[in-house]
Structure 1
Amino acid sequence: MADKAMDNNQVTIVGTVDSEFTYSHEVFGEGFYMLEVVVNRLSHMQDRIPLMVSERLVDVKESYRGKIVEVHGQFRSYNKHEEGRNRLILSVFVREFAFVGEEGTLTKPNSIYLDGYICKPPVYRMTPLGREIADLLMAVNRPYGKSDYLPCICWGRNARFAGKFEVGTHIHLWGRIQSRTYQKRLDNDVVEKRTAYEISVSKIECVE
C-alpha cells in the first residue's frame, strides 16, 4: 500500500544548489533540513525549489553551493500556523540525492507526475491578454491516512478542460514545479517578499 502511495507522487529535479542546509525538524531521531536549488527553464527564467533532505542522505554540515544535484522524491505540503491563520508550505521531500556533472542538466530537469483528486472547485479565468488559465487544488494520498494538497495551474485547452472538473474528480497530471515571488502586506504595514510554488500542468486526464 505504501509503495502505491509513493507511485502517485513522483518528482525529478536537476538543479544547482543555491543555499546552505537549514534545520527543519526531527522525526524518531532523524533530522531533516531544507535546501534550495535553482532549475533553469527553456525560457531562460529560473525556478527556486525547496528540498527537504534527511541528514542520512548527505552530510548536511557541508556547503554544496554551485554543485549540480539530481533528486527524486515527492512534492509535499503541510500547514504552518502563523499570523492567526494556516499557511500552506510546499517542498520536495527527497528520497534519492546525488551530485552530477554538467551532463546531468541534459536530462529533463524538472518533472512531476501526480495521481489524485480535485478538492476545491477549479477557478477558470481569462487574462487581460486573452490567455485561458485554471487554478486547481489537488489532494494526493500519502500512507497512514495523510494527504498532500498541491496547487496546480493549467493553460489554454487544458484550462478549459480542467475548469469543468467537479470536487472529487480523479485525475492524473504531468508538469513541472514552478516558483514565483509576490509581496505580502502584513498587519503592521510592512511588505514582505515571499515565494509561492505551484505545478504548471503540461498534460492532464480524468480517470474513469
Structure 2
Amino acid sequence: MEYYADCNIARATGTLSGALAADHVMRGETIYTGKLIIERTSGTLDVLPISAPGRLLDGICGTGAVSVRAQVRSYNLREGDANRLAITLFARYIEDAPENACPENDVSLVGTLCKKAVFRTTPFMREIADILLAVNRAFGRSDYIPCIAWGREAHMAAELCPGTRVRLCGRLQSREYVKRFPDGTEQGRTAYEVSCRTLEIM
C-alpha cells in the first residue's frame, strides 16, 4: 500500500519575507500564503512560495525564521486566456526557528515521468535534463512538479521512458527568466523547480 505522504516530503528552514496573508478558502479552511527565503551554500537566495492552513499558524510570530515540514504542490494559475503551472510549498507543520538556524531545503519525491525528459547543454556546457514528475496525493489528485537533473542524472533521465517510476531527491529552487511573447514584448518571471541531487528508478 502506498502512503501518499511518503511520496512528497519537503523540509525547509528559512526566513519569511513578511507575515503570511489570507489568500483563499479550501475545504472550509483559510489558506495563508507568502514567500520563504532560503540561502544556498553558494550565497544565492531561493525565494519560494509557501502556503499554510490557518490552524498551523497559532503561536507563529509571522515574520523571521521558521522551520517547515511540507509537500511540493502544483495548481493551475489562470493568466488571461491561458493556464500556467504554479508551485508552492504546502505546509503540514510550521514552527518558529532560531534566527541563527542553518538553512534547510530538502525535497524527496516518488512519482512517474509524465513525458520524455528534455536533454540539453547550457551555454556554459553543463548537461541538464528537464523532467516533469507526477506525484500522487490523496483524493485521487496528483501534483505535476518540474524538476531539473544535472550531469550523470541528466543522462540517466534522458534514457527513461514516460511512465517510469522514480525517486528524486534535491531542493526546491527559484530561477528568474524573461518570457518573450509573439508581439515582441517581454515579461520577467520566476520559475520554481526541484534541482535533482539523486535519481533512482523504483
Class of the TM-score when normalised by the shorter of the 2 chains: over 0.9
Residue 151 (structure 1) aligned with residue 149 (structure 2): no
1:103 Cα shift? 4.7
1:116 Cα shift? 0.4
1:80 Cα shift? 1.8
The equivalent of 1:20 in structure 2 is 19
User: Which amino acid is the alignment partner of residue 27 of structure 1?
Assistant: M
The equivalent of 1:142 in structure 2 is 137
| Aligned partner of 2:177 among 178, 182, 195 | 182
Regions of 4+ moved over 4 Å: 185-190
Counterpart CA distance in 2 for 1:28 and 1:150 is 23
Counterpart CA distance in 1 for 2:28 and 2:132 is 33
1:95 Cα shift? 0.5
Pick closer, same or farther for the CA change 1:187–1:135 going to 2, 3 Å. Answer: closer
1:177-206 per-residue CA deviation (whole Å, 9 max, x = no partner) reads 000112234678664322110000000010
Equivalent positions of 1:192-207 (< 5 A) are: 192-207=187-202
| Aligned partner of 1:167 among 162, 166, 177 | 162
Contact 2:74 2:85 (8 Å CA) reproduced: yes
User: Which amino acid is the alignment partner of residue 64 of structure 1?
Assistant: G
Contact 2:61 2:96 (8 Å CA) reproduced: no
Q: TM-score, normalised by structure 2?
A: 0.92
1:52-92 per-residue CA deviation (whole Å, 9 max, x = no partner) reads 011111159x8733x11000010000112222111001001
Counterpart CA distance in 2 for 1:37 and 1:130 is 31
Q: TM-score, normalised by structure 1?
A: 0.90
Q: SS of 1:102's equivalent?
A: coil
Contact 2:130 2:147 (8 Å CA) reproduced: yes
User: Which amino acid is the alignment partner of residue 201 of structure 1?
Assistant: C
The equivalent of 1:64 in structure 2 is 62
Counterpart CA distance in 1 for 2:172 and 2:45 is 11
Residue 97 (structure 1) aligned with residue 97 (structure 2): no
Unpaired runs of 5+ in structure 1? none
The equivalent of 2:5 in structure 1 is 6
Equivalent positions of 1:48-59 (< 5 A) are: 48-59=47-58
The root-mean-square deviation of aligned C-alpha atoms, in Å, is 2.1
Pick closer, same or farther for the CA change 1:167–1:96 going to 2, 3 Å. Answer: same
1:130 Cα shift? 1.9
The equivalent of 2:106 in structure 1 is 111
Counterpart CA distance in 2 for 1:82 and 1:63 is 33
Equivalent positions of 1:76-95 (< 5 A) are: 76-95=73-92
